Amino acid sequence: MQVQQRLLSGAVGLCLLASVLGGGVVSAANDDDHFGIPQVKFINEQIAAGWADASLQPTAAATEGEWCRRVFLDCIGRIPTADELKRFLADSSPTKKADLVTRLLGEDYVDEYARNWTDVWTSVLIGRDVENDNVNRPGMRQWLRRAFSKNMPYDRFMEELVTASGANANKDGVEGFNGATNFLSGKMEEGGVQAAAKTAQIFLGLQVQCTQCHNHPFNKGKQNQFWEFNAFFRQTRALRKYEQTMDIQSIEMVDEDFAGEGGDPEEAELFYELRNGLKKVAYPVFIDGTEISKNGYLPGRTEDG
């Protein structure tokens, strides 16, 4: 049975499906654990392999009532009502769990789904600091809620956040509002170091902040890879817009040519320092090693667009 997915084409959604469909115990060989969904089967197999490697035994499977409570919390952020729980417990269908997930990810619960995942992703993208003047939480939440309500595909979700331009606040007197800009509006200081680190962490599952200063001691991350990734953010600036006081009214994210630290946009290099004090140069290179043009002129696209 194919489960409908609402912004669940990425790893986050597939892990959610694996957790809620697994019922508490993952048995990689049992088709009932993944309902014919190959991605969920793969995740379950990896979890089972991890348990085996660590010589761990999973806890007993949750009761149906416990499972129903957990899936409601995971999907829409609340426990089921008494009527919702009774309906699930009274269902004798062998696909009742997949059917419930389908309903929770469908139109009947779209508002609750959007509200819950807006809460989750707001904290993921901009943290919990409500006093941070470099981000506008209402603007971030407005964009996220619309994205989840409209079932925006995960690849487009990520692309719009990383490439957003415009103003981060939806206020009177502020033009060009785009709530997606809040992801990077507070991360562009010091040449976008935080922008590179958080983008890699959230969307690539990589902890690269240590490699800003040195090669990672425990994985394959290299210092040059951090600065090559950081180079992608050098054509972006965060411009503070002030009210009549010194309070920040909004932050505008703009794209602009990057002349490079050497002043030549045809060779838009940036420099980083090794632990021994030597300087090295970096240009934009994707994590898989794919290089793009070294110049800093917009639009800076690859050949395939």
With 0-12 CB in 10 A as exposed, 13-18 as middle and 19+ as buried, what is 149? middle
Q: What is the mean pLDDT of the chain?
A: 85
Amino acid at 1: M
> Which of 241, 300, 239, 244 is CA-nearest to residue 268?
300
pLDDT score of 304 = 56
C-alpha–C-alpha distance, residues 97 and 75, integer Å:
13
> Which of 228, 114, 236, 232 is CA-nearest to residue 164?
236
With 0-12 CB in 10 A as exposed, 13-18 as middle and 19+ as buried, what is 209? middle
Displacement of CA 231 from its chain's centroid (Å): 20
pTM to 2 decimal places: 0.83
pLDDT score of 299 = 63
pLDDT score of 187 = 94
pLDDT tens figures, 226-252? 899 999 999 899 998 887 777 888 999
Sequence spans of domains, the chain: 11-105, 113-282
pLDDT score of 2 = 38
* Phi and psi angles of residue 276, each rounded to the nearest 5 degrees, phi first: -90, 5
44: CB partners within 8 A, 6+ apart: 18, 22, 26, 27, 28, 33, 34
pLDDT score of 10 = 41
C-alpha–C-alpha distance, residues 152 and 98, integer Å:
22
C-alpha–C-alpha distance, residues 60 and 92, integer Å:
21
* Per-position b or e across 101-130, b if 16+ CB within 10 A of its CB: bbbbbeeebbeebbbbbbeebbeebbeeee
Q: Which residues of the chain have pLDDT under 50?
A: 1-4, 8-12, 25-29, 300
100: CB partners within 8 A, 6+ apart: 68, 71, 88
